[in-house]
Amino acid sequence: MGDRLISPDETARLIGVSRSSYYRLRRAEPLLRPVRVGQRLVRHRLSDVVEFINTRPLVGTDKE
């Protein structure tokens, strides 16, 4: 069974950012590279998004 593909809007919701922040992250983060499924249609592998979420530092926590 293949990995589920999700839209950029769903990706932004999962990682907790606005659409404009999502597009900035997508340019900067190799883990958020989309998969082109049509001439103008892109999706993200859910496993890539989950990996991105799990590798990000938690905001507002003190790690000492």
CB 34 within 8 A of CB 44: yes
Alpha carbons 4 and 41: distance in angstroms, whole number: 15
Q: What is the mean pLDDT of each run of 10 residues along the chain (64 residues)?
A: 86 94 89 90 94 82 57
pLDDT at 56: 82
- Give the global pTM: 0.78
pLDDT at 4: 94
Q: Give which of 19, 17, 8 is closest to 46, Cα–Cα.
A: 8
